[in-house]
Structure 1
């Protein structure tokens, strides 16, 4: 029985069509593959027998083609070592794009933009050990496509961890694993749009006889609606909500977080997206009184709180602020992620849903949404249950706190006129600036090789409160070895202290 083509050497994608017959087509295809760099210098080619079998042509045709290309200098061949792409057969280089002009600046040396932790500190050794244990113990069905809800092993471990570390009241059956926070927000938004949201302030406590047609027993109804978002936050969160067919309206943010009392004055608001533990980007926790206001509003109007607990595990000066969900799990969607605690590349996040929202979210997620890889889910479950996650977080808290302290000390010594806030938790701080100076300082930072975002970058254009000038400094992002250089560049970009008259 002849050997299958799949048993021979490495595969080559070669198109033999064109004038001149098979030999000419093969010569042309190999020459083009070398010229364009698809076959790099030094690459070993399949034997004449293997390639002939793969392509379904005569072995002599391949041998003659190889000989022709060796003679031309494209290939090299030595007895006993096979045929290789010649070392001097360099592909044509694509010309580098020239700078746009004299104002062109090189890529920044240091990155202080928020959104990413210190990825150089990812616990590779511990993660690999957990992956090996998880892979060894994985049931056969774990290598299938998975389910919309997520691996049961991870959901069970998450329920225990979130209760212990964040005060979340979670049952594994109410946890849905997602491929990142953005997917979770999109799923909830689409579920609200499809299955309905809060009926608005006028209908919060109506009886069944008073509900309109199509309204569910708990007061929800399908159709258009609005989600309240914090006036300072991430614009792509608003975009995700908008793409789901819902509108957004801003809630004012001040020194105590979002002004949740404003919710009672808004019509047709089905949910409020909040960052209670550490407002992004201002860095303040939501005041206890406002937490109570938000929950009371949700209960009265049949609405939801979407709790973004993006970095709640990183608190430095006192005990972490517990999750809002623990106070009312039937009104709060808790949303957590591994993007700040481990790395964004894992694409692992989770939602703890009220009972009434589980089926609508799963219905949306089952229509073709990406699933997180089962093996990564099993690895995270093992990482959590073994205690490696807690050990990693303790180490990273110490590392990030040292950087925060170094930032505060450097500002106190060299720029005492710049006030820093939002430093009790998280991976970033806010440097407050005089009105009208933010953009010029962001530009000066670029000239110092520093990528930096101003506070205005995160302000909702629909916000009504006066704009604030400031810098959002993500001290958690640069690796340790570069942090001294980061501080030097930042201090050079800051304005000098105003001189007294």
Structure 2
């Protein structure tokens, strides 16, 4: 049997009931367990419908539904109404019970113990905490699967034959659709010629950093704190990060100007719509100041449009690029709006930088993916998905804040009503790193804001970055209760230890 891939259809998986002892439902249960534990059934793989599997195995449908029900209750399988039964994506692979029947003989599809080829190593799925408050993760349970599938199907059905022969990866329809979408949703000033489709935000940063090095740049002004992945990508291309502090109005432009003069840096990476991780927007005055610096220094601003689509208290702020399209590179992706698995993003480039960036990059997304992206945008698929996502995130954020107010009223929450995360100030004397460690045994995932500092050892307030994007609504109250218990445990430990 060929190995199944994550989220694949695995209807043809060979399950040999003759290799086990006991009643049929016991044998089928063990066969499925073994297929999952060895990796033959991959995390996320869809199992055959109960009626089809029962027919192929020559058993009653009750046998299959009984096994599916048991393994779903244990978290090994994931069954949802209207969807296929799949191998659960979250838990680690199950271990066989101590009293599980041992396969006998060399049943169909098994490899004899004396065979020369070794058994394949099981592939462990990513283990995420049950109460995962990691920031930057969208609601994966509500990823736009059906909308994307429809967009891809319609795009391929309607694409001219000649479109399927493209070898250069340039799909004008995708660039035109992106230009129209960004114009109406982010007020960007761009036509299709300014657009470049990328494999995501990090890929876009890699291309721009490589182009800047070609043009003689050696340093990049970055917000401190900020998303480390973008800094790492720039560093890999030879740009040294120059940290600039962030306060309640966003990046400190006066400090940025000083750092530019001191280091000679003429490129800056910022998140003006919703600064990550502090959660503040760049003020209007500082927007003007930042663009004035770029014009004066012959500089360029890379605008990471991080989760700009999710603003809950008012309409989203327009892109900085709209104010100075000749000085700003606008970078975005579908990673937070839809799912990182699509690996699709874009750059809106000033005219003077377009050829350099295009020549500095590697392969662009496939023609199929770009055609689907164009259809996803022009059919309103992304718009429909965003409307539902905003409602869910707003409701979840409100539930999180209400729970924090009930259980931890002494801790301040900061950041505007936007995006997929909030920032929690810890009580005096409580160190964020200790809270993160103490939370692990509770199956609670937390993130110290120092993780995003350019200089993590520098003095800074003790804060946690709390993500709620992929936290299931029924788990919000319990997650906050566990957080409060953890903080109190660390505070009590510190008091006892100081005596």
Could you state the TM-score of these two structures normalised by the residue count of structure 2? 0.72
**Superposed counterparts of 1:318-467, under 5 Å:** 318-365=314-361, 369-433=362-426, 434-461=428-455, 466-467=459-460
Q: Measure, in 2, the Cα distance between the counterparts of 1:274 and 1:39.
A: 44
Q: Measure, in 2, the Cα distance between the counterparts of 1:143 and 1:283.
A: 43
- Corresponding position of 2:248: 255
Structure 2 residue runs of 5 or longer lacking an equivalent are 1-11, 13-37, 42-55, 57-103, 493-499
Describe the shift of the 1:288–1:39 C-alpha distance in structure 2 as closer, same or farther (beyond 3 A).
closer
Q: Measure, in 2, the Cα distance between the counterparts of 1:146 and 1:114.
A: 37
Describe the shift of the 1:131–1:95 C-alpha distance in structure 2 as closer, same or farther (beyond 3 A).
closer
**Superposed counterparts of 1:179-198, under 5 Å:** 179-194=199-214, 196=215
- Corresponding position of 2:183: 163
- State whether structure 2 residue 246 is matched by structure 1 residue 246: no
Task: For residues 301-353 of structure 1, give each alpha carbon's deviation from its aligned partner in whole angstroms, at most 9, with x where no partner exists.
Answer: 11000000020000000111111000000000000110000000000000000
- Higher alpha-carbon deviation: 254-263 or 295-304: 254-263
Contact 2:404 2:480 in 1 (8 A): no
- Corresponding position of 1:85: 109
Q: Measure, in 1, the Cα distance between the counterparts of 2:317 and 2:210.
A: 29
Total equivalences in the alignment: 387
Q: CA shift at 1:94, angstroms?
A: 8.4
The structure 2 residue matched to 1:468, chosen from 461, 473, 479, is: 461
- Higher alpha-carbon deviation: 412-421 or 262-271: 262-271
Describe the shift of the 1:145–1:322 C-alpha distance in structure 2 as closer, same or farther (beyond 3 A).
same
**Superposed counterparts of 1:31-70, under 5 Å:** none
Q: CA shift at 1:111, angstroms?
A: 1.8
**Superposed counterparts of 1:468-487, under 5 Å:** 468-487=461-480
Q: Measure, in 1, the Cα distance between the counterparts of 2:327 and 2:241.
A: 19
Q: CA shift at 1:73, angstroms?
A: 5.7
Contact 2:219 2:266 in 1 (8 A): yes
Structure 1 residue runs of 5 or longer lacking an equivalent are 1-9, 11-36, 45-71, 76-83, 98-105, 197-221
Describe the shift of the 1:38–1:423 C-alpha distance in structure 2 as closer, same or farther (beyond 3 A).
closer
Could you state the TM-score of these two structures normalised by the residue count of structure 1? 0.71
Q: CA shift at 1:494, angstroms?
A: 3.0
Q: CA shift at 1:478, angstroms?
A: 2.0
Q: CA shift at 1:107, angstroms?
A: 6.2
- RMSD value over aligned CA atoms? 3.1
Describe the shift of the 1:451–1:159 C-alpha distance in structure 2 as closer, same or farther (beyond 3 A).
same
Q: Measure, in 1, the Cα distance between the counterparts of 2:467 and 2:106.
A: 51
- Corresponding position of 1:153: 173
